[in-house]
Copies of this chain bind each other. A is one copy, B any other.
Amino acid sequence: MSRPLILVTNDDGVNSKGISALIEIAQTFGDVFAVAPNGPQSGKSHAISLEKPIGVSLLLKSDTLTKFSCTGTPVDCVKLALNKLMDKKPDIILSGINHGSNSSINVIYSGTMGAAIEGFMDGIPSIGFSLLDYNEDADFSACKHYLGKIIDMALNMEDALCLNVNIPKLASSQIKGFKFCRQADSNWQEEFVPVDEINDFDFYWMKGSFVNQDYEQDTDEWALDNGYISIVPIEFDFTEYKALENLKNIEL
């Protein structure tokens, strides 16, 4: 097999420490093609730019690493990479390493995971990585060994998968290993803090507190709380099949 081609992206921006760490890990596996936002795009979920054009600028090009900055969302970056910038389909897409958790319900808000899911929708194995440390100067060194193992697994699987990988904020020696999990049932409770009044608009900062209601041992939250790296396989079929079975009996 020739050297794999790896598309790397994220939602914290092309200059974040997390994507630099991920590119470094990815380069031990193959040639890296990075297309990432030119600024923070956290919380952008699966958003795409329909109302404005998307800009892209080449930052760096060598035999083994190409790097673009993009004005769009993380999903825009993946679409642009796959449909315009890359000469051939990547063997895998890696998104992150996110500065902060994308476990449980966070997956739905996450730009990191939006990008990974977009790649998977095109049949490409995709992994989103997140470290449970929101600091922009977070220490990603503990990740390297473990992330390499997951990338190696995903590259060698028969069927493409999309994986949501979260890493506890622990020293490498304290990490107990991996757990394959389901998404815990959790949500956010928001508070709106008034900041300004401009014309007829009252402006608020949205602040949230994460609330987990699900402490079962098969969840990602349990794994992370207990020193494991959580790996949740992700799908993009939103159909609630159990409800569908019941609805079929209804006469409307």
Contacts and interface: CB of A to CB of B under 8 A. Distances in A.
Nearest to A186: B121
Interface in A105-162: 105, 107-109, 114, 117, 121-122, 149-150, 153, 159, 161-162
B239 A55 contact: no
A202 B239 contact: no
Residue among A42, A55, A159, A196 with the most chain B CB within 10 A?
Answer: A55
Nearest to A159: B243
Contact of A252 (B76, B150, B205, B237): B150
Contacts of A107: 238
Tell me the interface secondary structure of chain A in the complex.
mixed
B83 A191 contact: yes
Interface stretch (A2-10, A15-23, A89-97, A228-236): A228-236
A232 B236 contact: no
A230 to B, nearest CB: 11
B239 A121 contact: no
A235 B240 contact: yes
Contact of A206 (B49, B109, B201): B49
Given A238-B108, A240-B234, A83 B248 contact: no
A56 interface: yes
Given A161-B243, A203-B53, A233-B244, A250 B109 contact: no
B80 A239 contact: no
Contacts of A53: 195-196, 203-206
Contacts of A235: 238-240, 243
Nearest to A182: B239
A187 B122 contact: yes
Contact of A46 (B42, B46, B153, B237): B46
Given A46-B108, A84-B192, A122-B187, A201 B243 contact: no
B55 A183 contact: no
Interface string A196-213: 101111111110000000
Contact of A56 (B105, B181, B190, B204): B204
Nearest to A84: B192
Contacts of A169: none
A43 B50 contact: yes
Which 8 residue pairs of A and B lie closest in terms of their CB atoms, listed nearest first? A55-B201, A45-B46, A233-B243, A235-B240, A43-B50, A53-B203, A233-B240, A47-B47
